[in-house]
Amino acid sequence: MSRGIGLDFGTTNSALALAETGSPPRVARFQAPDAATESFRSVLFSGRPEGSPEVVSVAGPLAIERYLAMEDGERRLLQSLKAFLASRLFTSTNLLGRATTLEDMIGRIVRGLLDEAEAEHGPIAGASDATLVVGRPVRFARSKQAEDDDFARDRLRQALARAGVSQFTFEYEPVAAAYHYEQSLDDDELVLIADFGGGTSDFCLLRVGPSTRGRPRRAEDMLGTAGVAVAGDAFGAKIVRHAVAPQVGRGSQQQKLFGKPVPVPAWIYRDLERWHHLSFLRSPKTLGILHDILRHSLDKPRIEALLHLVENDLGYALFRAVERTKTELSTQAESRLYFDDPPTRIDVRVARADFESWIREELDEIAGCADRLLKDSAVDAQRVDRVFMTGGSSFVPAVRGIFEDRFGADKIRGGGELISVASGLALRALDSR
């Protein structure tokens, strides 16, 4: 029996699904510290235990467990690597003494995902009875023009090849989500798919339903696609900027001999805003700069708190606290952001109203992208039957409000936030055989 396989390599989470004719897609499950999960964290851990010459490399949910468990030795935890695909400046990083390319790191994560999935479902990459479709955003993070998207797509293809994936087709992630959504329909609809990932927000406007399921897809089914490089990571970064960074020295000054006080460099806090960048601050050169800042700081306790974060590579632990606050603000008017690892202690209250003001620029970009899609497709909002929202940031009330204002709350649907793209990719693969 032929199979359709969908691989969704995401900025924060990845997933894999398999579909066979006449059956709903099955989503692969992966081992995690507490219980099996349908999402595979797009994380790579590399560690060298103290006294050992060997480097241990682990991807996915277990990578975080290994990172937290290793107290002695060198360790690196890398995430959101997909967000760098369009950047020509990021080619490689020093991974425990060895220069490692971005493509190699992504390849290791995908290979880890495939190894676990194949242990349960049999051969996937290159299987003779399977068609593989891989998701890609409409617009990659950090992409400014079409050439950047082409560059990012080609790098992703190279990364997949390093994981042993060579025979596959790319499909836009929101189009895949439409395949997933379509399975629940009894009537045809004109639907706007809004897919919010970690690095990008992607949209497509297309016709779905029983009549399209029963025949090959036509060009006229797709009315348009659009994307913007703004999503969940950017929202979290604003919480760090406004609630965390002031607690660790942002806005403070340093006094050097015979000179006027000068601010602590802003670039340090830009790196702090993305927890996976924090480990990049541990380079000898940057640590030297931070120690120099501490010597001349007029607010030593806060700079000591910053230095403790960097030297102990506490980006992931800080990220968990920020992510918890972001999640709570989807259902509560206020959240307590609490992080305590002496001498670093952060304990602040974050109001939803403040959070929404911090992300106003990102919300405007998302709204503008959706409006351009409607305009370019010559479709009035009233003609859209449903809006299917998927991905973690679809729960943010201010994000939902964008679409409720334009289409009405009664048209909003959701579901399968972490697996809808993989499920749809598998259906898309089956459809293409």
Q: Concatenated DSSP letters for 43-111?
A: EEEEEEETT--PPEEEESHHHHHHHHH--SEEEEEEE-GGGGTT-SS--EEEETTEEEEHHHHHHHHHH
Residue type, 353: A
Which pLDDT belongs to residue 345? 96
**Eight-state DSSP code of residue 155:** H
| pTM for the model | 0.89
Paired sense of beta strands 169-172 and 130-136, if any: parallel
Q: How far apart are CA 298 and CA 263, in angstroms?
A: 10
Q: How far apart are CA 83 and CA 106, in angstroms?
A: 11
Q: How far apart are CA 177 and CA 99, in angstroms?
A: 36
Whether residue 276 contacts residue 76, with contact meaning beta carbons closer than 8 Å, is answered with: no
Domain locations in the chain as residue ranges: 3-170+425-431
265-301 burial: b if 16+ Cβ within 10 Å, else e? eeebbebbbbbbebbbbbeeeeeeebeebbebbeebe
Q: How far apart are CA 91 and CA 202, in angstroms?
A: 25
**Which residue ranges of the chain lie beneath pLDDT 70?**
1, 214, 276, 433
Which pLDDT belongs to residue 212? 87
CATH number of 3-170+425-431: 3.30.420.40
Backbone angles phi, psi at 149, to 5 degrees: -65, -40
- Alpha-carbon Rg of the chain, whole angstroms? 23
Q: How far apart are CA 36 and CA 30, in angstroms?
A: 5
Which pLDDT belongs to residue 214? 67
Which pLDDT belongs to residue 278? 76
3-state secondary structure 227-293: EECCCHHHHHHHHHHHHHHHHHCCCCEECCCCCCCEECCHHHHHHHCCHHHHHHHHCHHHHHHHHHH
| Tens digits of residue pLDDT in 335-350 | 999 999 999 999 999 9
